[in-house]
Structure 1
């Protein structure tokens, strides 16, 4: 049995080295080098070419290189009998928590405003709110969302969470299901989107949702660009209903040179760096699942294909 690494546009060398270190006898192929397709039962991938897994008759597992799996599940030609796994990593969660906290603090203390003031050589003090006066709503409070909530609570922010099914977290008010979404949105001074990308959540950050947020609310999107209707965001920021947004993910990455987000004074752009997978940190769980497959054992962090996450 062999493991195939497919990551077009992403240098696989660090992954291959980490895999060999963790499992010295492992036979590894790297796409697109020549290899025996019938020998491949396990694939490790990020943004594979659409339909490519149809060429592997004995493939049993497709492992994502990161926490997200929409780059896999969006492939309409994905073999139906193949299992999918995702990465669950404390370091990724810690990085995400730190990043979101930084964006929340930067907004709450008006740092983007002061950056613009400095560029324009203007001395413009503005009022600010204290942490305990701000309620942050986490839209999609899963593994990463829980770590974000923990970071925010440590810094005295009020935190509420929304998920598909009811979840209980200490000091976090939980909302679940369509019936409770409006109540959740109406209380979110800052909305942090951390939803998985599925057909149900694509374009969920739209005009209708924004209008349910309090006037002056702020959006942070660290999930997927496809969650956001970009023109709706620009319209609600420009009409003053939203105070601005911090965006780390986009429909097209990198965004085009002439994109209106680049120079918008109330929109902060970062290049998809909220939390970046480190091969040495996550390869042990990849190897564990590889060995579990060989032993016929249940895989860890398996994705429920009917839900898409």
Structure 2
């Protein structure tokens, strides 16, 4: 029998315990779930959260893998005590949540819904306010992994002109895929709506800065459900004040929760959502965990194995 350590916050245990029990049984895995402080020498797999109680993996010499419950691994990938394989979380529920958040806010920007919500004053303002069709709107998605790729293809399915950019060249049906430094500049120059779904790595820190924000078409809209470090906050605020950026809808931040005094809260061209775009859901996440344990036990390639040299 395998021993699986649940190393997330204890308040999440009531939701995850039945989900993991069911998923492991359905995958044909004979396992028992334990909580810290279980004997590290008995643990075969660690279901991990960066907010959980386990941050030092030194004693877990028997553990075959650390299975992250979050899509982001920036809080653990550089941990010097982590010698086990690390898998990030990409599950159907998380992916659909991201797609729905991005699609909703892209359509909100495309249809200029905020304008009409703020002008419910009895004045008929049809002239100049009819939106273009989606096929006449250019949307750019930075990051074409599982989440970004799903967003790009959904937006393309709605008829938008979708360009995707990634560090390595990708191919997606209905999406113009670019890569590299010149590809990034070309992508930004056409981004009427820009969606950022990149991971947190040294290469992506402050990717949107004074120089790159200036490449966007004037009045562009930014949607960031990816990582807070992607944006230079001061540069974005300056670009919003200057009218270079028309609006920013932000779901992730360098410091979370976003401090009450942060200027994003009061800025008229910023919408803050509280990191809700892609939340891990116990039932679907448990199935990914169980499948990865099955794969490790069978000697198969695991899902979403982290490349430590790239940081994701």
TM-score (norm 1): 0.90
CA distance in 2, matches of 1:258, 1:161: 34
Match of 1:67 in 2: 71
Match of 1:29 in 2: 34
Please say which of residues 145-154 and 216-225 is displaced more in the overlay: 145-154
CA distance 1:272–1:128, shift in 2 (3 Å): farther
* 2:153/2:175 contact within 8 Å kept: no
2:31 counterpart SS class: coil
CA distance in 1, matches of 2:54, 2:143: 27
The number of residue pairs the alignment matches comes to 303
Match of 1:229 in 2: 232
Match of 1:206 in 2: 209
CA distance in 2, matches of 1:108, 1:9: 42
Cα deviation, 1:233-264, whole Å, max 9, x if unaligned, reads 11100011110101011112211112211121
Which consecutive residues of structure 2, in runs of 5 or more, have no partner in the other structure?
none
Which consecutive residues of structure 1, in runs of 5 or more, have no partner in the other structure?
none
CA distance in 1, matches of 2:124, 2:222: 23
CA distance 1:41–1:15, shift in 2 (3 Å): same
Greater relative contact order, per chain length (Cα 8 Å cut-off, separation 6+): 2
**TM superposition outliers: structure 1 runs of 4+ over 6 Å:** none
What does 1:1-309 correspond to in 2, within 5 Å? 1-8=2-9, 11-23=12-24, 25-31=30-36, 34-47=37-50, 48=52, 51-73=55-77, 75-79=78-82, 81-118=83-120, 123=123, 125=125, 127-130=129-132, 131-309=134-312
Report the RMSD for the aligned CA atoms in angstroms.
2.1
CA distance in 1, matches of 2:123, 2:228: 35
CA distance in 2, matches of 1:211, 1:49: 43
CA distance 1:173–1:275, shift in 2 (3 Å): same
CA distance in 2, matches of 1:128, 1:200: 40
Cα deviation, 1:63-91, whole Å, max 9, x if unaligned, reads 11132222321x43242x31011223233
CA distance 1:187–1:28, shift in 2 (3 Å): same
Cα deviation, 1:47-76, whole Å, max 9, x if unaligned, reads 146842223222321111132222321x43
* 2:141/2:162 contact within 8 Å kept: yes
* 1:46/1:71 contact within 8 Å kept: no
